[in-house]
Amino acid sequence: MTLTRKISLVTTLLYLLISTASPARTQTVRERGVDEGKMKVFVDDLLAKMTLEEKLGQLNQHRWSWGENGDSIRQIYQKNVRDGQAGSFLGLQGVAYSAEIQRIAVEESRLGIPLLLAQDVIHGWRTTFPTPLGEASSWDPALAEKTARVAAVEASAQGLHWTFAPMVDVARDPRWGRIVEGAGEDPYLGGLLAAARVRGFQGTDLSQPNTILACAKHFAAYGGAEAGRDYNIVDISPRTLFEIYLPPFHRAVEAGVATVMGAFNEVNGVPMHANGYLINEVLRNGWGFRGLVVSDYTAIMELQRHGVAATPAEAGILGLTSGVDVDMVSEIYHLELPQMVREGRLSGAVVDQAARRVLEAKYRLGLFEDPFRYHNAEREKTLILHPDHLQIALEAATKSIVLLKNDHGILPLPPAPGSLAVIGALAADQDAPLGPWRGQGMAEDVVSVLSGIREKLPQSTSVYYQPGYTLPEFAGEGLMEAALQAVDQAEAVILVVGETARMSGEASNRTDIGLPGDQLALAKAVLGRGKPTVVVLMNGRPLAIPWLAENAPAILETWFLGVRMGPAVAKVLFGEENPGGKLPVTFPRVTGQIPIYYNHRSTGRPPREDDFFSSKYLDAHWTPQFPFGFGLSYTTFAYDGLAVDRESIGVGEKMAVRFQVRNTGTRKGDEVVQCYLQDNVGSVTRPVRQLVAFERITLQPGEAKTMNFTIYPEQMSFYNSGMQKTIEPGQFTVFVGGSSTAELSAGFEVVAN
Ligand code: GLC
């Protein structure tokens, strides 16, 4: 074994020792409600009966598409299912159709092995919630668990067993369209939300028919795509990989995630679907993951395009031996690999292991007992869009709104203005609030921002709506005059600008994250009329809005909030709700600053106003427009009394931190209190600070609360120059406050034992 391999193995084992030893992990592997011994006997017995072709058939996942005459099941699918050549389907939902294909599998195939039916249930199923990045702005893991639970109830009611979610990719580059699908730039916040969403989807017992297999994706470092271009290479240091991109996957594994999906990208020259080290050694042997790994869409075939396989058969061998158990859509495993096994180029044991993982997943869901337990027309009829679900959608939408600016307290607006102009086609749009990856979300279910405002205001208020630009082009030609007339007639203005739902999500990257089209020109004209104006951003990714940030008196970041976007925005605009969200991702001033993130390292010449020769730009200030963790409120909060419980601790000990936070304003409000840690000096450079604890709390006016946080040893650890996970003695600094720029600090020392 080469020295490098020895180091990597030592690293992995050391990492495992420290990370599993850490009490920071409050998640335990969720009990899946299955007797592992009985499951082994059952699966051993079934595998012994299966032919090689049937085992490889279990590894084949078809992409669903309607039959030749539109309403039947495609003949080839029926044939493959009958021949035991399909183990799962992507994209088939609805009790009627899915029951039929399941019947064919169970009654017309030789061994009657039921199918797994999977779909992307990313932020809701029919009841659509805020996009994951939007929901991450709530900084509320319990809420994320609740919305995932509802999504599982609705998806399982439509026959689905498996969701390809949560997407846990850390993203530091908002040019990348899929930043919308994750939890932003921080591994700690992202890890807690990943675990919460896994718990929501899987519940505490996968054998319950309203629980579904979750899938942590995309393993790994997909968010590191070079130039923010989806599917592009990822070239990062091993330290960045292990300290930034991998932790949320580890949290998902600790929460008991049943499946993991490979990422399209390569990492440092090795495509993830051929990355046996990260899949078999880190994910499986290092972290103890025992579920199945599914490829991304045609990613096994794509190993040829990456240039690491010359033929489909080689790609199949590489994928399967690297630990990718299920081949999504390529059809390489079941068509090419039987011959490879017979020629001795692929071990039958590897096939058995992958087939076992698929059969175990089916067993955990109870499908061998009752293959039709997810096909219940009554549940489908009563649970989809249930009023309780819509109430949760309203709660999630409201808690995800971030107040970015509120000069002169222009917000909240008076609850009954005489007149109001609502400008911007996005305000009336019922599609954008669904965001990308909307599952079964329907525009007809969405209450638009304009409708939410109208429903909120009394009849006496005149509401003048004008689109101001077209969708999806955001072209203002011929619409400006009418918009400005509406502004001139009104006492106050709501200007809704941003992106369509198609401008973020998969393969939807932008080279310029400014406002698309003529929106800025419209904003300048509207604000030029001098009326009290509130800008409502409706977008998938952080936007570069330097002129608005400078000139708009009030800005709400509302993302794509789902089916109850309108009422949520209206509650906040008119003061029924006080916004308490915080940014889970940095907003650059301009695209040229990207990548820009809060947990950066210092450099030898950190930017300084008074030092030309320091790390900054000629044409933009080096700081972000709005930093990670930032968000205002209609009230104010003050922090004081920060204290650490001991001035020094030994290596491996935890540190308790205490401080007070007070609502110093005149109304109740939520605050996400945040705690950051800096390792002042290390044998390698360390982030200027990193999030180690937070809590969203509610305080009445004048109310104060003493917060007690614990900083765990693993949070003081890092990978040294030899990639050994370690904690080094030295000075540490704790910062607490309402954003990543918190200044209230205290120090402590870690001393050698
Ligand atoms: C897509 C996405 C992945 C999704 C899969 C199935 O290409 O990369 O996130 O789960 O295909 O739809």
pLDDT in tens, 402-435: 999 999 999 999 999 999 999 999 999 999 999 9
Residue 81 has pLDDT above 90, yes or no: yes
DSSP-based helix, strand, coil % in the chain, nearest 5 = 35, 20, 45
* Contacts for 579 with CB less than 8 Å, ≥ 6 apart: 401, 402, 403, 556, 572, 631, 632, 633, 634
Phi then psi for 9, rounded to 5 degrees? -70, -45
The span from the CA of 544 to the CA of 225, in Å, is: 20
Span 319-346, mean pLDDT?
A: 98
DSSP H helices, 460-518, are 480-489
Q: CA–CA distance from 576 to each of 241, 571, 631 (Å)? A: 43, 5, 18
* Distance (Å, whole) CA 723 – CA 7: 8
DSSP secondary structure code for residue 687 in this structure: B
**CA of residue 295 to ligand 1 center, whole Å:** 9
pLDDT of residue 460: 96
**Cα–ligand 1 centroid distance for 548 (angstroms):** 35
Query: In the structure, what pLDDT confidence band is assigned to residue 29 with cuts at 50, 70 and 90?
Result: very low
| Ligand 1 near 379 CB (within 6 A) | no
When the candidates are 2.40.50.110, 3.40.50.12280, 3.90.190.20, 3.20.20.300, the CATH number that belongs to 34-380 is: 3.20.20.300
Is the pLDDT at 7 greater than 70? The verdict is no
Q: How far does residue 12's CA lie from ligand 1's centre (Å)?
A: 29
Our answer on whether the CB atom of 90 is closer than 6 Å to any ligand 1 atom is yes
Q: pLDDT for 710-727, tens place per residue? A: 999 999 999 999 999 999
164 lines ligand 1 (CB under 6 A): yes
| Ligand 1, pocket-test mutation among 296, 302, 328, most atoms within 8 A of CB | 296
**CATH 2.60.40.10, applies to 637-751:** yes
List CB contacts of 239: < 8 A, sequence separation 6 or more.
Answer: 684, 718, 719, 723
Give the residue range(s) of CATH 2.60.40.10 domains in the chain: 637-751
The atom number, within ligand 1, closest to the CA of 167 reads 9
Confidence of residue 94 (pLDDT cuts 50, 70, 90): confident
Residue linked to tokens 């996009």: 131
In the predicted structure, residue 160 carries a pLDDT above the cut 60: yes
pLDDT tens, 509-530?
A: 999 999 999 999 999 999 999 9
- What the block records as the tokens of 306 is 């990456």
Q: Ligand 1 in contact with 205 (CB < 6 A)? A: no
Nearest-CA residue for atom 12 of ligand 1? 120
Q: In residues, how long is the chain?
A: 753
C-alpha of residue 61 to centroid of ligand 1, in Å: 13
What percentage of residues in the chain have a pLDDT greater than 70?
Answer: 95
DSSP assignments along 137-183, one per residue: TT--HHHHHHHHHHHHHHHHHTT--EE---B------TTSGGGGGS-
Q: Is 181 in the pocket of ligand 1 (CB under 6 A)?
A: no
SS3 54: helix
CATH 3.20.20.300 domain residues, the chain: 34-380
Write down the pLDDT at residue 147: 98
Cis peptide leading into 412, omega within 30 of 0? yes
| pLDDT score at 649 | 98
Q: How far apart are CA 362 and CA 206, in angstroms?
A: 10
Residues recognised as catalytic: 296
Question: Shortest CA distance to 423 belongs to which of 371, 479, 475?
Answer: 479
pLDDT at 47 over 90: yes
Cis peptide before 595 (omega within 30 of 0): yes
Counting Cα atoms < 13 Å in the Cβ hemisphere of 567 gives 14
Of 396, 402, 392, the closest CA to residue 579 belongs to: 402
pLDDT band at 93 (very low <50, low <70, confident <90, very high): confident
Whether the upstream peptide bond of residue 220 has omega within 30° of 0, thus cis, is yes
CA 430 from centre of chain: 23
Distance linking the first and last C-alpha atoms of the chain:
33
Distance between CA atoms of 243 and 227, rounded to whole angstroms? Answer: 21
Place of tokens 């074994």: 1
Is 120's C-beta closer than 6 angstroms to any atom of ligand 1? yes
Q: How many whole angstroms separate alpha carbon 79 and alpha carbon 602?
A: 61
Pairwise CA distance, residues 454 & 461, whole Å:
9
- The DSSP result for 271-303, as a single string, is EGGG-HIIIIIIIIIIT---SEEE--TTTTTTH
Q: What is the pLDDT of residue 52?
A: 98
Atom from ligand 1 closest to the CA of residue 120: 10
Contacts of 448 (CB under 8 A, 6+ apart): 427, 428, 429, 430, 433, 565, 566
Please tell me the distance from the alpha carbon of residue 187 to that of residue 183, in angstroms, as a whole number.
9
With the most atoms of ligand 1 within 8 angstroms of its CB, the residue from 61, 93, 120 to mutate is 120
Please give the mean pLDDT across all residues of the chain. Answer: 95
- 178 ligand 1 Cβ < 6 A: no
CATH 3.40.50.1700 residue ranges of the chain are: 395-593
Whose C-alpha lies nearest to ligand 1, atom 8?
A: 296
pLDDT tens for 362-385 read 999 999 999 999 988 899 899 999
Q: Is the pTM of this model over 0.75?
A: yes
Using a 6 Å cutoff on CB, does residue 297 contact ligand 1?
A: yes
Tell me what pLDDT residue 25 has: 38
What's the half-sphere exposure (Cβ side, CA atoms, 13 Å) at 459?
A: 0
- Which CATH number, 3.90.1570.10, 3.30.1360.120, 3.40.30.10, 3.40.50.1700, labels domain 395-593? 3.40.50.1700
pLDDT value at position 1?
Answer: 46
User: Rounded to the nearest whole angstrom, what is the distance from the C-alpha of residue 178 to the centroid of ligand 1?
Assistant: 11
What pLDDT, in 10s, does the model give residues 651-679?
999 999 999 999 999 999 999 999 999 99
